[in-house]
Amino acid sequence: MDQRPFDESGFRELIEYYDKTRFDYNIAWVGRDNLAVHFGFYDEHADRHAEALSNTNRVLAELAAIQPGEKVLDAGCGKGGSCLWLARYRQCTTVGITPVASQVAEARLHAIQAGLDGKAAFIQADYCDAPFESGSFDVVWACESLCHSEHKEAFYREAYRLLRPGGRLALAEYTRQKRPLAPSGEKLLLSWLNRWAIPDINTAAEHRKQAYEAGFREINLMDYTRYTWASLKNLNKIALRWSWANHLLYGMGVRSRTQYRNVIGSIRQFQALEEGLWYYAVLTAVKPI
């Protein structure tokens, strides 16, 4: 592994977002036994919030056909929840990367507490320029993390490089219906994205094109909105319920601008979903042998 120091200069907004909103995620979303900074999949296996968050990992793991002993890179690992789930329930070795140093520290602590520090490692790194040799992984996994990149085509190229021949890519991502939307639609969509440190999101065609041009084949993009709708609506309800407190505490100087905007973004996200401006997609692809 390349030991070069990590340069945070290109990630200031993203780092500030996750550092400033850490308290909100811990209070409103993350449970004691679940470190998920993502939405949940509701189906016959899960009908409650905590179960749905874990179920997202199960669904992606099955779609990626992850086997015991394989090596998985979580590109944008957050607090390390998916890495720890995969290490525990799929008996694979995982490496999580994120540009957010506080998330790396938290993920490492949780790995030690879970007795999985020998199976799940975490480092501060850029998933578009990762410090690993080519062909290091069997699976590259990205759950609601690609959205944060301005150069999504670079992610696909890097994921392809990092995978061994026959390796698989699995990602879950917010996906815009088209480009461009009507002016009012673009305004609403960006009023969510910009408050979550997301520069833009791809269309399905853009995802497929970038994956194909990177070298991937067997590209399959599926609409999973029906499985995530309840989870998305749940966040919207939480944001609406506490909107008054968000405004009051921001006005008093208790909450930061980033925290204040995060709650508004959570409301705008569901508004944009209801207006059909975006949907929740899952993509899988294979690096040819």
pLDDT in tens, 123-147: 999 999 999 999 999 999 999 999 9
Of 98, 121, 123, 103, nearest to 111 by C-alpha is 121
- The catalytic position among 106, 144, 158, 173 is 144
Reported pTM: 0.96
70 catalytic per annotation? no
Q: Within the chain, which residues score under 50 in pLDDT?
A: none
CA angle 34, 262, 252 (to 5 degrees): 115
| Torsion angle (degrees, nearest 10) of CA 84, 86, 87, 90 | 150
Query: 42-97 pLDDT, tens per residue?
Result: 999 999 999 999 999 999 999 999 999 999 999 999 999 999 999 999 999 999 99
Cβ neighbours for 119, distance < 8 A, ≥ 6 positions apart: 87, 92, 93, 94, 111
Residues 239, 170: Cα–Cα separation, whole Å: 29
Which domains does the chain carry? Answer: 8-177+200-228+278-286 (3.40.50.150)
Bridge pairing between strands 71-75 and 137-143: parallel
Q: Which helix (H) or strand (E) holds 89?
A: helix 81-89
Strands 137-143, 120-124: pairing is unpaired
